[in-house]
Structure 1
Amino acid sequence: MYTRPRRGQRVVAPILFVFVALAATVASRCAHAHIVAQPDQGKAGSYFETSLKVPHGCDGSSTVALRVGIPDGVLSIKPQMKPGWTVSIVTRSIDPPLKLEHGMTIDKAVAAVEWRGGPLPDSLYDTFGLVMKLPTTAGKTLYFPVVQTCENGKRDWTDIPVEGQDWHTVHSPAPQVRLVPAQ
């Protein structure tokens, strides 16, 4: 036997649908709102290419600069050149200098890479590539703290989880790359 829905039921169902759809959209945007490294796993001791995906600006404002801190242990890095952007590399001294195979010695490493230019509108995304030689310690996670500067404001993606804390629970997580065994 069919009974016609009451007037209140006909109003609540569409409102509930809109609320659920809106909540799913917001949750999806939040889940993908961080700057992330893609891919985020590389073989320890190998040369590795990744891109930092910048999914949005700062509260509606376009991105005009991205500064990426390079973790200790990454001794060789080459940033991607991007049309409309300038790239600069900041180095740090290594003391004592490291002796590498083939008799090479290095006394400087890259501390940060910075892209300036664009602008990258808030409604669009882009990627900023890095090629690097990964450290040999499998099981370690490397964090690449990022400062995103926009036309109006900035956003720090520099939080590093403490041991045992999940990366997804950190408020403004630094992009990460996990080192996996070379086999």
Structure 2
Amino acid sequence: MNKYLLSAGALFVGTSAALAHISLETQEAAVGSTYKAVLRVPHGCEGKPTTALRVQIPEGVISVKPMPKPGWTLQTKQGRYEKSYQLYGEAVTSGVKEVDWSGGSLPDEFYDEFVFRASLAADLPAGETLYFPVVQECEGAAERWIEIPAAGQDEDALENPAPGLKLLPKK
């Protein structure tokens, strides 16, 4: 067999698992900046269409504004932050803790994106990764993309990884 075909086959197998989970389009952002989170949904659950998507917002991600999707109901769940953050010179102590899109139908054979905008607090630790646990609901099934790696654990070892955002130093 041709060595190039073997390499291409290995590349396809290696990337197909990585493409199978919900991920963030932009996986790095500077602390203290505005961030546009684009959650990429590449498939349904066990062949069934996606009917809801819920994303938990990690601490330090503030001033969240989700983008409505035609045909979907959009709701947010509010809550108190663990501490006070500064945003445009004002103290912010509560905000969106979860974003829920529901009531739509994204067939398994199609791909779509779910978007929200947020501010990344200036005191978040650069060099670390923030995780956005996501629950993808389908007709009679669900996928829980909620696994967060333990210290020193490789994200690729997780079966259902939460989408991650690497924090870069403030610009």
TM-score by length of 2: 0.86
More strand by share: 2
1:76 aligns with 2:69: no
104 and 155 in structure 1: CA distance in 2 versus 1, 3 angstrom threshold? same
169 and 131 in structure 1: CA distance in 2 versus 1, 3 angstrom threshold? same
* Percent identical: 42
164 and 153 in structure 1: CA distance in 2 versus 1, 3 angstrom threshold? same
- Say which one has the larger Rg: 1
More helix by share: 1
Aligned counterparts of 1:28 and 1:140: Cα–Cα separation in 2:
24
Aligned counterparts of 1:164 and 1:21: Cα–Cα separation in 2:
30
Match of 2:114 in 1: 128
User: Can you give the 5+ residue segments of structure 2 that lack an aligned partner in the other structure?
Assistant: none
Q: Which runs of 4+ in 1 moved over 4 A?
A: 19-27
SS at match of 1:100: strand
* Deviation digits for residues 129-166 of structure 1 (CA, Å, limit 9, x no counterpart): 11110122311211000000001200100000001111
181 and 84 in structure 1: CA distance in 2 versus 1, 3 angstrom threshold? same
Match of 2:156 in 1: 168
Match of 1:8 in 2: none
Match of 1:34 in 2: 21
Contact 2:86 2:121 in 1 (8 A): no
The number of equivalent residue pairs is 166
1:151 aligns with 2:128: no
* Deviation digits for residues 63-112 of structure 1 (CA, Å, limit 9, x no counterpart): 0000000001112111111111111000112466x263666333322110
Aligned counterparts of 1:101 and 1:27: Cα–Cα separation in 2:
41
Aligned counterparts of 1:22 and 1:99: Cα–Cα separation in 2:
48
Supply the RMSD in Å over aligned alpha carbons. 2.4
Deviates more, 1:76-85 or 1:27-36: 27-36
Contact 2:30 2:170 in 1 (8 A): yes
Aligned counterparts of 1:132 and 1:61: Cα–Cα separation in 2:
31
Contact 2:85 2:121 in 1 (8 A): no
Match of 1:3 in 2: none
